[in-house]
Every structure is written in C-alpha cells, then in structure tokens.
Amino acid sequence: MTRTVPDVNTVALAVTDGMLHFELSLAYEVFGTDLTHLVDPWYSVVVCGTGAVRVGRFLLEPDHGLDRLRDADTVIVPGWADVDEDPPADLVDAVRAAHEAGARVVSLCTGAFVLAAAGLLDGRRATTHWAHTGALAVRHPRVEVDPDVLYVDNGSVLTSAGKAAAMDLCLHLVRLDHGSAIANTVARRLVVPPHRDGGQAQFVTTPVPAPDNHPLAELLPWVVERLDRPLTVEDLARRARMSSRNLGRHFRSVTGTTPLQWLLTQRIRHAQELLETTDDSVESIATATGMGTATTLRRHFNRTVGVPPDTYRRTFRARTLPLGPAKTPGGPDGSGQHRRRHP
C-alpha cells in the first residue's frame, strides 16, 4: 500500500471503552500539540474508535472509525484497564490490519494485551506494566515478555511499560523520527527527562529516587559537565567518596547499568547533539566527548546508534532546530536511529 504525503505524519490513537486516560492524554500531549515551529510538518493526530467510548470518567467521541487506522503511519494503543478480559475483537482486527498495511504499531502500558491478541507480539520481545507482565506471559506464551525494561523497540512494533514509561516511549518515537535535539526540546517543554537509563525493575519495590535523594545525585551532573575528560571508574568513585565496588552497586540501583556503560551512553548522546547542532568535524566531536579519536567515536557510535556519525548527521541535520553550539555535555538523548518505513 502506498501512503499519501499527509498520512506519513499521521498518528492514530486507537480507543475503546476502558482505555486508561493517563496514557491516552500523554500520547495526545506529545503528538497532538502543534509544534510546527520545531518541525514542519509536525504530527497530525486522529482519534479512532467505534462511537463514543468511556475513558476513565470521561466520554470521548472519536474523530474516525477503526478502519482509519489502516491509513496512519503510526498507531498507538493506550493502556487498557480490564486486562482480565479479552480486548474487543474489532479493535484487535483493526490493529492487525493497520500493521499489515505498513503502520508502526505502538502500545502504551497494558495496550500490549491488544497487540498480543492481534498476534503482533508472537516471537517478539515485549513489555507492559510490571504488575501485568506475568499475566501477559501466561495468556500469550509465544511472546517473550521482558519485565525489566522501560520499552521495547522491534522496529514496526513497540511496547512500553507502565505510566511514566509511556512517556519514555513517546519521546523515543519523536527521537526516531526527528532526532535527539528535537526530542530534547519536546521533553524540556513537558518538564520530563528526555531519556531515562535502566529498566522498570528499579521501580517495582522502591520509589523513583528524587533528583537530590540518591547517592549519585551530585556525581551524575558533575560527570556530564566533564565528558571531554578521560574519566575512569576510579575517578568517579573518588569523587563520590566511595569504593569502586559501592559505586557500581549504586549505579545499578539508580541507573540500571554500570558506571562505564552509563558514561559511554552520555558520551554518545553528547556526540549526537553536536552532530545535529554544530558543523564540528568528527575529530573535534571525538575530543569534545572524551572519545579521543575519530576512529574510536565511529566504532562506539556505529555499534550504539546503528549508523556512522556522518550518516546520522545527514539524516537529522536538516530537521534540527538552529540551537547553536551545544553548551551542556550529556544533553543529547536517545537511540538516534534514522527514520524508516515499516514493511
């Protein structure tokens, strides 16, 4: 199926009775707010369902029927409240048909149960709210359920964990489509982190640490201001006034990864923003991000992002705001994968 130009940026929200209003509202806020001053054209959002539906305590009148999902570039299924019941057959059929027509299909929170019922998660890794990962695995044994991640990107099918992780995935979609600098700008407007490290396991039994309420609260900002320096684990441990072993334990608890992997991720993100917002050479960016040489930067960048730095720059440079030179190391976030159609 060949899509028309207006449909390339269309995000369709698939709704039915019992959808969770938080996830639905969140998706509409990210994609439905007019941000053509950032990117023109921005997304065009349509709400699709079968007649008036109840979302939380509100009644919502969709713009279109579920058949409209087939024409959208991206279909988002918000969280679905009654996971003990099978999702409506017409919704399941419409989501499956949209995917077959080439749409990128996304679930937020328990919307994964709809995607699983449509067979879109068979043989794929997926996630949902941690409280329901067990039920998803039991009801759909062909799905590889991962309870320890914020979201899973399978290319044409993406799933998120619960609540705040839905925002993580929505920003990830913006990052895929328009680059990390635009995603960062959207995140700043929403006053949320552009990208969170780690998985949802850290949120199962303990609250999310407040910015100033965990052992690395002072260390992390100190590091991102010094990404051009050859920092080691010992340097970080000394700055944090703890042993390297304790540092590693705290990093796992707060970020979900090791100190070196976290540091590498910050360097790559800083490189992404410099590639998008400056004319600096790859050699200069390698120095500014603490990679040392262009060869080292290219190797890590290609392995992490999936494309070489020059290809990344060509893909996102024209779409990025004229922000001028990046002033804050560690500012860029995201995978930086280039835009792709979804067969």
Active-site amino acid positions: 109
Q: If you count DSSP H runs as helices and E runs as strands, how many of each does the chain have, helices first?
A: 13, 10
Q: How many C-beta neighbours within 10 Å does residue 207 have?
A: 8
Sign of torsion over alpha carbons 13, 16, 22, 23: negative
Beta pairing, strands 125-126 & 144-145: parallel
HSE toward the beta carbon, residue 188, CA cutoff 13 A: 10
- Residue 287, helix vs strand vs coil: helix
Q: How many angstroms separate the Cα of 218 from the Cα of each of 127, 132, 150?
A: 32, 35, 24
Q: How many C-beta neighbours within 10 Å does residue 139 have?
A: 15
Residue-level length of the chain = 343
C-alpha 289/C-alpha 269 separation (Å) is 9
Q: Which residues contact 145 (CB under 8 A, 6 or more apart)?
A: 125, 126, 127, 128, 133, 136, 137
* Residue 44: strand pairing partners: 10
34 burial type by CB count under 10 A (0-12 exposed, 13-18 middle, 19+ buried): exposed
Question: Which helix (H) or strand (E) segment is 21 a member of?
Answer: helix 21-32
- Residue 11, helix vs strand vs coil: strand
Q: How many angstroms separate the Cα of 272 from the Cα of each of 115, 182, 257, 291?
A: 32, 12, 20, 13
* Cα–Cα nearest to 220, from 201, 196, 199: 196
Query: Are 209 and 277 a contacting pair, CB within 8 Å?
Result: no
* DSSP single-letter state for residue 299: H
